[in-house]
Amino acid sequence: MVSRVIPVKAFDLVVFGGTGDLARRKILPSLFRRFVAGQMPDNAYVIGVARSEFDTNGYQDLVIAALQEFEPELSASGELKSFIKQIQYVQIDAQGDLGWSDLAGIVRKDAIQAFYFSVSPSLFGPLAEKLHQYSISSKSSRIVLEKPFGRDLNSARALNAVLKEHFSEEQIYRIDHYLGKETVQNLMAVRFGNMLFEPLWNSQYIDHIQVTVAESVGVEGRGSYYDQAGAMRDMVQNHLMQLLCLIAMEPPAKFSPDAVRDEKLKVIRALDPINSKDIVRGQYSTVGTEKGYLEAVDNPSSKTESFIALKVQISNWRWAGTPFYLRTGKKLKARCSEIAVVFKETPHSIFGPDAGSHRNALVIRLQPDEGMMMDLTIKEPGPGGMRLIDVPLDMTFAEALGPEIGAVPDAYERLIMDVIRGNQTLFMRGDEVEAAWSWTDPVINQWVSKGTSPVSYDAGSSGPEDSMMLMHRDGRKWREIS
């Protein structure tokens, strides 16, 4: 099977923050891969913009070094030389006048214009204002925004209001890179492209759903940012919430931006407020010579959580009575993101009590090894009695789709090309983001007002013991983090 590549139209992609970590690690390598795949045409340009003093040659050297570091195999091909010819640079001060006339002279009016704000959110407003003031953007330009989109409802509202002064909602692309992951999109394909699952996709047949996003790394170099955010703001309000929406939403009438986003919004609005007994917050502690969280963020009195587990209920006809268990954390035993849809047991076992209890589970693995797995119950082989065992029907996409399809594309490749194509389906709408903050704000405010501290868990474990209890007390258990 060969992946189809349809080249996009001529574009100018201006990357504000073009010298930053995200640009070097994700945005530029993703563009390079799309270039090599034949999707980025010869008349498309990437214009790096940052505060640093570079000329275009100097910036091209930075891009080459980034690609050699983060895309070493492809960089060794002859394609790098051709790609680099399509890279330009402008030095700009987002808050002053330096460089803006130069940028205005470069960005073409007759090509698709996309402005990627890969900078601190405090610069989103000034950038939008300057693009307008220097007549660089037009009614058809697109702006792309990185997370975090606010730190609570008020700041998200203020950010939306500032952007809307110069750009309409149809021009604003709020990135949640989880939505660009192949498996996440496959969740929609599996639900709405097969007859098999949708009739069973409700509280009558599904016992519960678990979503795990586990990281094995700690806060690394992001300590000061992370300590102000914590797992609830950094992961649950956006990534886990988006996954929950795609699992729980009603079938949209079509796969179009507003049809999908309307259904996601309804899910967020149907979430019950969370009870404090249904939340476990944790902070990783020192094991051996490794730094614990408090040391890593250099804040001995921090009450920020590096782990959170939640039991969430959706009050609507489809999901009443089926809990969603979400957990995410740092310094856990493995890097693993997956969604497990755990079905109910059969209403009656014809095989008697010795057969044990068995539940089918559909597991959607986001990373590593993107794929899907279905736990099926079968007879244990052998001449003994009728004993039942659970076996996985396992499908790794890379194996199932064959080598010609190539590696699973990075989420950023898909999302950047969607910006150029003008397709907002996989981007968050302003009202979705605000609704998500409306749900998380009261929970966070409660911790702050009560001064609640997270419980401690060992680095390299599966998280705090209390998070296991969250499931055990309901007669359920988490899948292994592996």
Shortest Cβ 103–ligand NAD spacing (Å): 11
| CB nearer to ligand NAD: pick between 18 and 282 | 18
Distance CA 14, CA 88 (A): 9
Distance CA 306, CA 332 (A): 10
Specify the 3-state DSSP secondary structure of 281: strand
| CB nearer to ligand NAD: pick between 120 and 133 | 120
Query: Hey, which residues between 98 and 127 contact ligand NAD (CB under 6 A)?
Result: 118-121, 123
Shortest Cβ 23–ligand NAD spacing (Å): 6
**Stretch binding ligand NAD (CB under 6 A), from 75-83, 88-96, 320-328, 442-450:** 88-96
User: At what angle are helices 241-248 and 257-269 packed, to 10 degrees?
Assistant: 100
Cα four-point dihedral sign 207, 314, 256, 144: negative
Contact residues for 306 (Cβ-Cβ < 8 A; gap 6+):
218, 219, 226, 230, 231, 282, 283, 284, 293, 329, 330, 331, 454
| CB nearer to ligand NAD: pick between 101 and 120 | 120
Query: What are the backbone angles phi and psi of residue 250, rounded to the nearest 5°?
Result: -75, 155
Active site residue 239: yes
Among 11, 14, 20, 312, binds ligand NAD (CB under 6 A): 20
Find the catalytic residue in 166, 177, 208, 239. Answer: 239
Among 10, 36, 37, 51, binds ligand NAD (CB under 6 A): 51
**Stretch binding ligand NAD (CB under 6 A), from 13-21, 82-90, 209-217, 253-261:** 13-21
| CB nearer to ligand NAD: pick between 175 and 339 | 175
Among 46, 94, 103, 433, binds ligand NAD (CB under 6 A): 94
Shortest Cβ 174–ligand NAD spacing (Å): 12
The CA-to-CA distance between both ends of the chain, in Å, stands at: 30
Specify the 3-state DSSP secondary structure of 212: strand
367 contributes a contact to ligand NAD by CB under 6 A = no
Distance CA 219, CA 294 (A): 10
What number of CA atoms fall less than 13 Å from residue 323's CA on the CB side? 16
Shortest Cβ 50–ligand NAD spacing (Å): 3
One-letter amino acid for residue 436 of the chain: A
Shortest Cβ 221–ligand NAD spacing (Å): 9
Shortest Cβ 44–ligand NAD spacing (Å): 21
Q: Which residue is nearest to ligand NAD (CB)?
A: 20
Please tell me what DSSP assigns to residue 380: P
151 contributes a contact to ligand NAD by CB under 6 A = no
The helix or strand, by DSSP H or E, that contains position 464, with its residue range, turns out to be: none
**Stretch binding ligand NAD (CB under 6 A), from 18-26, 311-319, 350-358, 379-387:** 18-26
Distance CA 447, CA 241 (A): 20
**Stretch binding ligand NAD (CB under 6 A), from 92-100, 103-111, 240-248, 402-410:** 92-100
Distance CA 15, CA 32 (A): 14
**Does the N-terminal peptide bond of residue 368 adopt cis geometry, omega within 30 degrees of 0?**
yes
| CB nearer to ligand NAD: pick between 7 and 121 | 121
Among 93, 97, 198, 390, binds ligand NAD (CB under 6 A): 93
Shortest Cβ 230–ligand NAD spacing (Å): 14
For 49, other C-beta atoms within 10 Å of its C-beta total 28
Distance CA 222, CA 247 (A): 30
69 contributes a contact to ligand NAD by CB under 6 A = no
| CB nearer to ligand NAD: pick between 226 and 324 | 226
92 contributes a contact to ligand NAD by CB under 6 A = yes
| CB nearer to ligand NAD: pick between 121 and 406 | 121
Shortest Cβ 224–ligand NAD spacing (Å): 12
Query: What are the backbone angles phi and psi of residue 196, rounded to the nearest 5°?
Result: -65, -45
Shortest Cβ 426–ligand NAD spacing (Å): 16
**Residue length of the chain:** 482
17 contributes a contact to ligand NAD by CB under 6 A = yes
Contact residues for 120 (Cβ-Cβ < 8 A; gap 6+):
none
| CB nearer to ligand NAD: pick between 104 and 468 | 104
7 contributes a contact to ligand NAD by CB under 6 A = no
Distance CA 78, CA 36 (A): 10
Specify the 3-state DSSP secondary structure of 284: strand
* Cα-based distances in Å from 217 to 139, 220, 329: 42, 7, 9
239 contributes a contact to ligand NAD by CB under 6 A = no
Query: What are the backbone angles phi and psi of residue 402, rounded to the nearest 5°?
Result: 85, 160
Among 7, 10, 22, 405, binds ligand NAD (CB under 6 A): 22
Q: Total residues at the site for ligand NAD (CB under 6 A)?
A: 21
Which residue shows structure tokens 């539940």? 359
Known catalytic residues? 239
Q: Which residues bind ligand NAD (CB under 6 A)?
A: 17-23, 50-52, 92-95, 118-121, 123, 146-147
